[in-house]
Amino acid sequence: MNKVSKTIGILGAGESGVGVAILASKRGYAVKLYDENTIKPSYKEELIAHHIPFQENSVWNPSMALVDEVMKSPGIPEKNTMVMALRKLQIPIISELEFAYRYCGNSKIIGITGSNGKSTTTSLIYHICKQSGLNCSLVGNIGTSIAKQIALAPTDWYVTEISSFQLDDIQNFKAHIAILLNITEDHLDRYNYIFQNYIDSKFKITNRQVASDYFIYCIDDEVIQKNLQHVQQHILSTQLPFSMKQTIKQGGYIHNDQIHIKTPNQECEMNISDFMLKGIHNQYNTLAAAISSSVIGIRKKEIQNALQTFKGLAHRLEFVATINGVHFINDSKATNINSTWYALESIERSVILILGGIDKGNDYRILQDLVKQKVKAIICLGVDNKKIVDAFSKNINTIIETNNMTDVIKHSIDLAEEGDTVLLSPACASFDLFKNYQDRGDQFKNEVLQYQASNNPSTI
């Protein structure tokens, strides 16, 4: 144990907060951890096991004014009472990423951000790296915090899903490979409803990169392309764009169903029909993953083999069952408009679309054309469905309002015909009726499978 030299205050005892507490404790910090709510039992057990003191249901404690710096969990907004008090006291506030980076040593970070596709791309890159024998870990917004991984089981590579919230309070953090998939309006409530603030946060993924680092980004994304013009001179890393609309000299593109990868390490081609992930959005994700894997030094055959065996994620366009010729798809992780757009774009059948939850400032006009083309009925799943009803009532004759998953499945069964797809892709957060998007997706799957078992056992 190192001699205690500093005191760190930690706001929030979720995955990030507990991860930093463990790492800080191991590095000799005195730790003061507070949570405004009751801490989950599993996290309490971890804190107790590492002899870390904590306070729960605590709004403010004067001792927080005595810390050297504070790590703010990503879920805590700037308007939080304690955060505002700390800002007024001019106590430095950092993110988990910032603290973890101090102790990653010679290990390297692959950081993946964007409004959509982060989890899929992060998991795909990890799958490729793992299959290729690299000593790597899957961390960040997708699961285990990077701080906890560094503290308990350090690896050579950290494949890290990074949200804008995690980027907000970085200072010295640097990703060796930074990936920016796309930028669409999301979480605007956290950015004073100013889109540019959210855009600026996403571009922080390139902070402090040098010539030996890499910035991989989608050049087809209009927001990225427009803003890149303003920040280009500040990005010092090697830029590797990817596209499905144009030929790329260095980076990657798709033409005639062939992925073309050109990086300093290798040039290769692969047929996209061989890969498990389907849909245009997943072709973008695959491009980003293939480029980053090539940069690391993974050879074509290993990348190709991994892409052919990757099955995707739970709650992200996850096939659940076929009942009487009707497909049921769980896309509960679609918590914004653009995720739902991608889901609809990838489905060729007529759709019974399940929308709703906590609206994050959604502009449903983005979905209008696809809804007209593909959706035969909408089932609303939320406490307040008025905005959805108002947005689509002129184009969709059947819109049903519900507030529980049992009713959703009953109405879906009644409305769907052979050849249709029932798609849960809510475009909203889940916290009005569910614990989180996983709970929402699990309830959907359970209700579908229960119906299948009781009414159509021959399909099991």
We report the CATH number of the domain holding residue 74 as 3.40.50.720
Q: Which residue has the tokens 């009005």?
A: 432
Residue 267 lies in a domain: yes
What is the DSSP-derived secondary structure letter of residue 429?
Answer: B
Mean pLDDT of 150-174: 96
Q: Please tell me whether residues 394 and 337 are part of one structural domain.
A: yes
Does residue 232 form part of some domain?
yes
Highest mean pLDDT out of 24-33, 273-282, 333-342: 24-33
Mean pLDDT of 168-179: 96
pLDDT at 351 (0 to 100): 97
pLDDT band at 1 (very low <50, low <70, confident <90, very high): very low
Whether the Cβ atoms of residue 185 and residue 209 lie closer than 8 Å to each other: no
Looking at the structure, tell me whether residues 110 and 80 fall in a common domain. no
Q: Which amino acid, residue 209?
A: Q
What predicted TM-score, i.e. pTM, was given to this entire model?
Answer: 0.81
Domain count of the fold of the chain: 3
Same domain, 146 and 82: no
The DSSP secondary-structure symbol of 359 reads -
pLDDT in tens, 239-261: 999 999 999 999 999 999 899 99
Has residue 265 got a pLDDT over 90? no
How far, CA to CA in Å, does 287 sit from each of 222, 237, 248, 291? Answer: 18, 19, 12, 6
Q: Is the pLDDT of residue 443 over 90?
A: yes
Asked if residue 166 lies in contact with residue 96, where contact means CB atoms within 8 angstroms, the answer is yes
Q: Contact at 8 Å (CB) between 96 and 73?
A: yes
Contact 243, 253 (CB under 8 A): yes
Asked if the model's pLDDT at residue 113 lies above 90, the reply is yes
| Confidence check: pLDDT of 445 > 90 | yes
Q: Is the pLDDT of residue 278 over 80?
A: no
* Residue 401: band (very low, low, confident or very high) from pLDDT cuts 50, 70, 90: very high
pLDDT reported for residue 230:
86
Q: Is residue 368 part of a domain?
A: yes
Same structural domain, 130 and 271? yes
Q: What is the mean pLDDT of residues 198-226?
A: 96
Q: Is there a single domain that holds both residue 359 and residue 257? A: no
In a domain, 173, yes or no: yes
Q: What is the model's pLDDT at position 456? A: 58
Q: Are residues 38 and 138 in the same domain?
A: no
CB atoms inside a 10 Å sphere around CB 248:
20
Please, which pLDDT band fits residue 153 given cuts at 50, 70 and 90?
very high
Whether residues 160 and 274 fall in one domain: yes
- pLDDT, position 62: 77
Residues 82 and 118 in one domain: no
Q: Residue written as tokens 């956290």?
A: 190
pLDDT exceeds 50 at position 155: yes
The pLDDT value given to residue 284: 93
Buried residues in 52-67 as b, exposed as e (16+ CB within 10 A): bebeeeeeeeeebeeb
Q: What is the mean predicted confidence (pLDDT) over 118-137?
A: 96
Per-residue pLDDT at 299 exceeds 90: yes
pLDDT reported for residue 459: 44
Q: Do both 245 and 181 map to the same domain? A: yes
Residue-by-residue DSSP string for 265-300 = S-EEEEEGGGSS--SHHHHHHHHHHHHHHHHHT--H
Residues 45 and 69 in one domain: yes
In a domain, 42, yes or no: yes
Predicted local distance difference test score (pLDDT) of residue 422: 97
Q: Which structure tokens are listed for 20?
A: 């930093």
State residue 3's pLDDT score: 55
Q: Domain span at residue 390?
A: 318-455
**Could you tell me where the DSSP H helices lie in 204-331?**
222-231, 280-296, 300-309
Average pLDDT, the chain: 92
pLDDT tens for 314-325 read 898 888 999 999
One domain for residues 399 and 356 = yes
Per-residue pLDDT tens for 55-111? 999 877 777 888 999 999 998 999 998 899 999 999 999 999 999 999 999 999 999
Does residue 186 have a pLDDT over 80?
no
Q: Are β-strands 238-243 and 251-255 bridged in parallel, bridged antiparallel, or unpaired?
A: parallel
- From residue 340, alpha-carbon distances to 173, 204, 264, 281, 313 in Å are 32, 26, 36, 11, 16
Q: Is the pLDDT of residue 140 over 60?
A: yes
The predicted model gives 346-364 an average pLDDT of 91
Residue 170's pLDDT is 95
CATH number at residue 124: 3.40.1190.10
pLDDT tens per residue across span 13-68: 999 999 999 999 999 999 999 999 999 999 999 999 999 999 999 877 777 888 99
d(CA 447, CA 351): 18
Judge whether 460 lies within some domain: no
More confident residue, 234 or 379: 379
